[in-house]
Amino acid sequence: MTPAVGTDYNLPALPISQRIAFMITGIGFLCHTTALGIQLQSGIPFNSMQEAISFFSWAIVFIFFWVELKYRIYVMGSLVLPMAFLSLISVATLPLENHPVDKTLKGTLLGIHTTLSVLGIVAFAIAAVVGIMYLVQEKSLKSKQFGPLYYKLPALGLLDQWNKTALFWGIPLLTLGIISGAFWSQYALGFFWSNSPKQLLAISAWFFYLIVLQGRITSGWRARRAALLSIIGFMGIIFIFTTLA
């Protein structure tokens, strides 16, 4: 009989090394939260690529803590935390202003656009992480090799639901981010659309995820296909923002 997965959250206490790592991560998250709070007091946040990436890192760690404290899915940290760490490293290596924006062009609309867009990308990042976990768990079930990792991962049904929920949040957030960005462009630059490569690729990513979500809702796509496409889509987003940022 196949062992039950993801149904018992009364897990034994974490090893001391993992508890220390969890505490260190928590301290870093509190420091990051404090820094963002100070930034909010000084004006509209996320007006530069560095600030947007920093917010992405904070938001994805926040989701990690929420999932871990609610579901005790400790293995999720092995995927989420390296992503957040690499994001912060990229912030440190970027020039002080990657693409300087005149102060007169910075404002509430730009902050709203960036915040909504980053939150949408966070949702897609979670969908990709959950997709990886789904594929790993599915492989264990098909091969009937139930190693330690199998018992640390949630059930396939729960992972599939998380993937679907992440897509449901990601599409509206990115849509609002694109719309608010168009209004900011019209207000600050005099046009809604510039046909720049970054904008074209961003719209392409939006259409890609819209097709994935529609496939899940109306076409009954299997969870495995959605998991694969979530991973591919997020890799595309990484390409857009690392190559054309």
Convert the pLDDT of each residue in 61-109 to its tens digit.
999 888 888 877 777 877 888 888 888 887 767 665 544 454 545 667 7
Does residue 202 belong to any structural domain of this protein?
yes
Confidence (pLDDT) at 109: 79
Q: Which tokens sit at 238?
A: 């990484």
**pTM for the full predicted model:** 0.82
Does residue 172 belong to any structural domain of this protein?
yes
In the chain, how many domains are there?
A: 1
Contact 198, 166 (CB under 8 A): no
Q: Which of 76, 79, 84 is nearest to 55 (CA)?
A: 84
| Stretches in the chain below the pLDDT threshold 50 | 1-12, 98-100, 102, 104
- What is the distance between the alpha carbons of residues 210 and 224, in angstroms, rounded to a whole number? 17
Confidence (pLDDT) at 9: 41
Q: Which domain holds residue 226?
A: 16-243
Confidence (pLDDT) at 69: 80
Does residue 68 belong to any structural domain of this protein?
yes
Does residue 5 belong to any structural domain of this protein?
no
Does residue 6 belong to any structural domain of this protein?
no
Does residue 120 belong to any structural domain of this protein?
yes
